[in-house]
Every structure is written in structure tokens, then in C-alpha cells.
A and B are shown apart, each in its own frame.
Chain A
């Protein structure tokens, strides 16, 4: 195991931030930590990195206990913090060179690594720019370059896409997958479920310092009773037609609102097919029709009774 967290407890005064948290991250995984703001994702990361003292539990990285003095372990860890951690006084190149210099003392080797990192995040045209001259997206990319330039075996990214434009977000996500393909194990925290679904091979959902669920995205979705959500654009539906839709097998809920019929089905086969047949049978004329599989938000909603994004 690359990371092993066992019964981790962290309190901030009376607030229990992590409640006996246990999980493992295997080599080569992209492990997603998903949860709403304040769920304990960043606290967990800071405890793994020994930046925070914790009240109980053990953390080991690469099979060795992790402490503030574990400099040999830190050498193989790359960290991209939630808040951009760069120096305003240094250019893009100098910033990456500084952080890489903490791990790689050899100047020649470092130069190659810095150039590679710049290319990796697509900042070739901004090497001599100071951070204040960069957009939010470019700044995030710089933050990532500073964390990965030394080619670590374990990369921890704490909400790296917060306040980033879609173009930069895609670039960042593609980069993370590429790093994983190059052999790095990734721990990725986010409250954006789409991102986690897109790139993570295994996901742990956190809420109030507790694990809500852990598994692959399919396994997580398999945990809930909800099937697909079908939305149909309709015109002048009668009450009888709506009732006919409600009477279909495996249907949990039908809402007719503002010309849109929303049908929530339970987990099962042929739900869409059954709906299409019923529309034809009841002579309901319709425009667009859209079927959506359950999301991680639905998983979170069913387990905790609240939305992931609060």
C-alpha cells in the first residue's frame, strides 16, 4: 500500500473533524476523496502529510510511519495545495525551480525537470511571468507544476480546480491522468463529483469526518436503489396520461411541470424502453427525451439525505 490510514481521529476543540477514519491507497490508483465543504478532506490530507497533529490513529506512507521528520518519505511525495502556494517575488520558472530545488539539489537535473513540468502544464509562454500577471487557471497550473516537477511517486492534489475556467480544468484533469499513466499514485480531493467520476479509479465519499461509502464509481452507484432519471419534453398532457405513466412498473416518481415530464425510476432493466412504449401507447406527442444514470450526488443524497453541494 502506498498510503495506509488507520483509525485517524482529529478534533478542533469540540468539533470532531475526522472520526476514526481508515482507508488505504494502492499503488497506481487515482484515489478520489469526495465530500462537501467541511467534510474533512483537507484535514485528512494535512494529517497524512504530518502538517497537522492528530489525536489518535496511524498514518503510513510507502509502508513507513509518516512523521514531520520523515524527510526520506517526503522526497517521493508531491503536494498541490488547495490554496495556491507560490512566491509572488519569483517568476513562473523560478517558482518551479525553487520547489523542485527542495527535492533535487543537482542543478542540471533540476533544469530538465523544471522544463518538463512547464511543458506538462502548458506554461511555456509564461516562463518569465510573475504570478500576479497570471489568470486563475494559469496560476493553478503553476501550483500543480510546483508540486509535480520532481517526479514524485505519490501526488496529492487538494481541490486543484477550484475557481478554474473549463479549459484549464480539462487541461488539469488530463494532466492528472497522464501523471498516473506515467506511474504516479494519485490522491485527488474535490467537491466536484463530475471530476471525481471522470478520473478516479476508486472513490471515498466523506461527510462530517466519517466515511459515507468507498468503492469504484459503479460500485458506489450500485449501492443505491435509484435507476435512471428520464426527462421528456411534452405538450398539453392530460391527467389520465400522467397517471398512465405513473402506473408503469419500476417507476418511483413522475412530475409534470412546465412542459417537462420528469420520470424517476428504480434500479432495473428496460426502464427507458417501457417509458417509450407508454408514450406511444398513450398517444403523447413529445420533443426531446433524455435519460440520465444516477450520479454520485444521488449516491450521497440517498445515503445522507442531503445534496453533495450544499
Chain B
């Protein structure tokens, strides 16, 4: 198989440039992995407490009850010693996030509650603070319970009311983390590696295929080969076989690197789909490489075209920046490239928890789109090849 061997030798001659892009993949993956330790997922639960301060203008069983209830979800800090400049102290504490909330229970609070009159608790909090919402909810719950008990028993005293509310609110809530699919990908490293794979794979393929085609498309070589007794179909088959072997080898190298860098998720079902997606993407990149190889006229141009096409499509398609952060217009343009669909499939594969046909339907549709791109590229490159042939 002289043509097959020759193709491999041509690739071997150009391996250094391609290795640079494989090495870039290794470097970036290594750096990303170093900064993002693989997540172990949600397997345990522990309470976190927010910092609050309570200024109570009266001291009754009911105010103490509120303090006790709040202390279960918050770390109650004292403001004693700051009475002289209380206002500034509170403002500074909130500004520097030393406190998330300051609650003031006004004088007459207990009497108003027991009389069934409306009463508000003043609260100052960090604007937009999620933690303060949690405290607000608990205070509302406490006041609602108090109102409920007073409505039910108008003669209830402060002690009895406080202990009745405490008996309800002291009931601890048990939290159990349920992981419906332990097979699902944990963390976002694997999707990142597979997305980034598109950049190196595309560049290496365009460069590799064009280096072969540039040699075989030289008119004098074409004619010299045509003088030989080997049928052109046989020659084309050997050439295609060599390119297919090249594509599979590059795919294997890049996929292996992805698995090594996120070995925790290497044996998940999702990873199999990532690999399949990369293989299908490889087919469409092969088609694109054929097309470009028929258009490119020189070796220097092939490197430049590989860089421009690879970088631009990867940037637009969400390889470097997640698609969620890209504008609608950008994504619309990107959807004309297979890279966009490859990244989109990866994003969906990453969150897959079930692998039924219904769950996979959309992803399989994307695979078909990628294959459609491959077919379109090959048809256009055949047309371009035919046109070039007619010109010579």
C-alpha cells in the first residue's frame, strides 16, 4: 500500500507542529485541573449560620424565645459596649459583612403579642442578602405561631406562649441527600476537557489532512500517479484509509488525555457519550479538513487557515466561554459550524442522569446535525475538487 504508507510519512514529517497543539491541550487541561479540584458531589449536609445581632428593648420569655429560635440558624453577636455610637457601629458591621442582619425588638412587644395586636420587629440587613431572608422567614414563623396560640387561647401567658412555640420550633429537621443517579458526571471538568478537545482536534486534523492533500493535489504528482497502473479508486481508498487512521489516532490521544485528567468520571456512562460525540465531531472535522485542503494552495496558508478557522469557530461556539454567556446573535452565527453543536451536545450530556431514548433524543438529534455537516462538507469538497480538475 504505497499511498497509505506515503500519507503516514507525510503526517510524520509534520508531526511537530501538530504536537504543539496537543501539548497546548495538555498544558491547559493541567492548569484547569490544578485550579479546579474535582468535586465529590452533594453527599453530605451541614448547617451554616449567619451572623446577626439582636437589640431587645424588653426582657420577657417571649423575646428570649425569639433569641433562642434565631440562635439555631444564626450566630447571635453581642453589641454590648457600643451603646454610645450604636448607629455607626451597626452601619459599619453591615457594610463590612461582619453582621448580615440587626434585629430590634421594640418595647411593648410582648404585651402587643398577648393582646393580639399587630406588632413589627425592625430589621436592618445587607441589601440583597440571601442569609437575611432565612432570618426573616424564621421571625415570621415565630410571630405566626404566637398569633395562632393567642387566637386559640386568649388567656395564655407569656411563659406558656414561649414554651408552646419553642416546643414546635425545637423539632429538628432531618436532611437526607438523595442522588438519583450516582452515574452522573460530578463537577464540570470533564465537559470542559471535551469542549476544549474541539480546538486541538480541529487544528491538528486541518493541518494533517491539508498536508497530505497539498502533496497529492500537486499537478505533476497527480499526473505522475495517473501514469502508474494503480487504479485511481484504489489510490483514493488508500488515501482515505490513512486519513481515517490519523483521525482515530488523534481522537484516541485526546480522549485518553481527557480521561486521565478527570479520571474520577472516566467510567461514567456520560463519558461514553462525550467520547461518541467527539468521534462524530471528528467526522465533521474530517469533512471540513477535506474542503479546506481543496481550497488551500500552500503549506503556509494551511497553517494560517487552520488557526483562523479553529480559533474563530471555537470562540463563537462556546469552547472557551460557556454558551450560556454568549449573546443570541453570536450563537446564531455559531450554529452554522459543527463546533457549536458539538459543545451543545457536551453541555447536555454533562447533565444527563437517565439514558433512555427519550432522554437521549435531543442529543441524538445533535449527533445527526454534526453528521449532516460532515456530509455537506464532503459534497462541497468533491465539487471543488472536480472544478480544480477541470481547470487543470
Do residues A74 and B13 form an inter-chain contact, with CB atoms below 8 A? Answer: no
Do residues A85 and B224 form an inter-chain contact, with CB atoms below 8 A? Answer: yes
Question: Complex: how many Å from CA A69 to CA B230?
Answer: 9
Question: Complex: how many Å from CA A72 to CA B226?
Answer: 13
List chain A residues, Cβ under 8 A from B226: 49, 51, 68
Q: Is A182 an interface residue (CB 8 A)?
A: no
Do residues B225 and A102 form an inter-chain contact, with CB atoms below 8 A? Answer: yes
Do residues B6 and A102 form an inter-chain contact, with CB atoms below 8 A? Answer: no
Do residues A75 and B229 form an inter-chain contact, with CB atoms below 8 A? Answer: yes
Known A71-B229, A102-B229, A102-B230; judge A89-B224 contact (CB<8 A): no
List chain A residues, Cβ under 8 A from B9: 89-90, 94
In the complex, how many angstroms separate the beta carbon of A19 from the nearest chain B beta carbon? 23
Q: Is B215 an interface residue (CB 8 A)?
A: yes
Question: Complex: how many Å from CA A99 to CA B2?
Answer: 8
Q: Is A101 an interface residue (CB 8 A)?
A: yes
Known A71-B230, A94-B9; judge A87-B225 contact (CB<8 A): no
Do residues B231 and A79 form an inter-chain contact, with CB atoms below 8 A? Answer: no
Do residues A103 and B6 form an inter-chain contact, with CB atoms below 8 A? Answer: no
List chain A residues, Cβ under 8 A from B172: none
Q: Is A174 an interface residue (CB 8 A)?
A: no
Q: Is B137 an interface residue (CB 8 A)?
A: no
Known A89-B215, A90-B9; judge A81-B223 contact (CB<8 A): yes
Do residues A83 and B229 form an inter-chain contact, with CB atoms below 8 A? Answer: no
Q: Which residue of A lies closest to B235 (CB)?
A: A102
Q: Which residue of A lies closest to B2 (CB)?
A: A101
Question: Complex: how many Å from CA A97 to CA B231?
Answer: 18
List chain B residues, Cβ under 8 A from A49: 226-227
Our pick among B13, B227, B230 for the contact of A89 (Cβ within 8 Å) is: B13
Q: Is B228 an interface residue (CB 8 A)?
A: yes
B213-249 residues with Cβ-Cβ distance < 8 A to A are 215, 220-221, 223-231
List chain B residues, Cβ under 8 A from A94: 9
Q: Is A3 an interface residue (CB 8 A)?
A: no
Question: Complex: how many Å from CA A84 to CA B223?
Answer: 12
List chain B residues, Cβ under 8 A from A103: 228-229
Question: Complex: how many Å from CA A224 to CA B204?
Answer: 66
List chain A residues, Cβ under 8 A from B215: 87, 89
Do residues A83 and B220 form an inter-chain contact, with CB atoms below 8 A? Answer: yes
List chain A residues, Cβ under 8 A from B113: none
In the complex, how many angstroms separate the beta carbon of B111 from the nearest chain A beta carbon? 97
Our pick among B10, B224, B230 for the contact of A81 (Cβ within 8 Å) is: B224
Do residues B6 and A98 form an inter-chain contact, with CB atoms below 8 A? Answer: yes
Q: Can you name 29 A-B pairs with beta carbons within 8 Å?
A: A49-B226, A49-B227, A51-B226, A51-B227, A69-B231, A71-B229, A71-B231, A74-B227, A74-B228, A75-B229, A81-B224, A83-B220, A85-B220, A85-B224, A87-B6, A87-B215, A87-B221, A89-B6, A89-B9, A89-B13, A89-B215, A90-B9, A94-B9, A102-B2, A102-B228, A102-B230, A103-B228, A103-B229, A146-B224
Counting chain B residues whose Cβ lies within 8 A of the other chain, the interface size class is 10 to 19
Question: Complex: how many Å from CA A68 to CA B223?
Answer: 11
Our pick among A46, A81, A89, A99 for the contact of B228 (Cβ within 8 Å) is: A99
List chain B residues, Cβ under 8 A from A84: 220
- Among the interface residues A69, A72, A89, A103, which one has the most CB atoms of the partner chain B within 10 A? A89
In the complex, how many angstroms separate the beta carbon of B104 from the nearest chain A beta carbon? 83
Q: Is A77 an interface residue (CB 8 A)?
A: yes
Do residues A74 and B229 form an inter-chain contact, with CB atoms below 8 A? Answer: yes
List chain A residues, Cβ under 8 A from B231: 69, 71
Question: Complex: how many Å from CA A77 to CA B10?
Answer: 27
List chain B residues, Cβ under 8 A from A69: 231
Q: Which residue of A lies closest to B227 (CB)?
A: A79
In the complex, how many angstroms separate the beta carbon of A64 from the nearest chain B beta carbon? 14
Do residues B224 and A98 form an inter-chain contact, with CB atoms below 8 A? Answer: no
Do residues A98 and B223 form an inter-chain contact, with CB atoms below 8 A? Answer: no
Question: Complex: how many Å from CA A8 to CA B212?
Answer: 36
Q: Which residue of B lies closest to A76 (CB)?
A: B229
Do residues A72 and B229 form an inter-chain contact, with CB atoms below 8 A? Answer: yes
List chain A residues, Cβ under 8 A from B228: 74, 99, 102-103
In the complex, how many angstroms separate the beta carbon of B219 from the nearest chain A beta carbon? 8
Q: Contacts A71-B229, A87-B215 known; list 13 others, CB within 8 Å.
A: A69-B231, A71-B230, A74-B227, A77-B227, A81-B220, A85-B220, A85-B221, A87-B6, A89-B6, A89-B13, A90-B6, A98-B5, A102-B229
List chain B residues, Cβ under 8 A from A101: 2
Do residues B227 and A98 form an inter-chain contact, with CB atoms below 8 A? Answer: no
List chain A residues, Cβ under 8 A from B13: 89
List chain A residues, Cβ under 8 A from B221: 85, 87
Our pick among A72, A77, A89, A98 for the contact of B2 (Cβ within 8 Å) is: A98
In the complex, how many angstroms separate the beta carbon of B212 from the nearest chain A beta carbon? 10
List chain B residues, Cβ under 8 A from A77: 227
B2-45 residues with Cβ-Cβ distance < 8 A to A are 2, 5-6, 9-10, 13
- Among the interface residues A79, A83, A84, A102, which one has the most CB atoms of the partner chain B within 10 A? A102
Question: Complex: how many Å from CA A74 to CA B225?
Answer: 11
Do residues B229 and A79 form an inter-chain contact, with CB atoms below 8 A? Answer: no
Q: Which residue of A lies closest to B223 (CB)?
A: A51
List chain A residues, Cβ under 8 A from B225: 102
Question: Complex: how many Å from CA A51 to CA B219?
Answer: 11
In the complex, how many angstroms separate the beta carbon of A102 from the nearest chain B beta carbon? 4
Question: Complex: how many Å from CA A73 to CA B374?
Answer: 38
A238-274 residues with Cβ-Cβ distance < 8 A to B are none
How does the 8 Å CB contact mask read for B95-106 relative to A, with 1 for contact and 0 for none? 000000000000
Question: Complex: how many Å from CA A89 to CA B5?
Answer: 12
Question: Complex: how many Å from CA A77 to CA B227?
Answer: 8
Q: Which residue of A lies closest to B212 (CB)?
A: A89
How does the 8 Å CB contact mask read for A205-233 relative to B, with 1 for contact and 0 for none? 00000000000000000000000000000
Question: Complex: how many Å from CA A174 to CA B206?
Answer: 46
List chain B residues, Cβ under 8 A from A51: 223, 226-227
Question: Complex: how many Å from CA A87 to CA B214?
Answer: 11
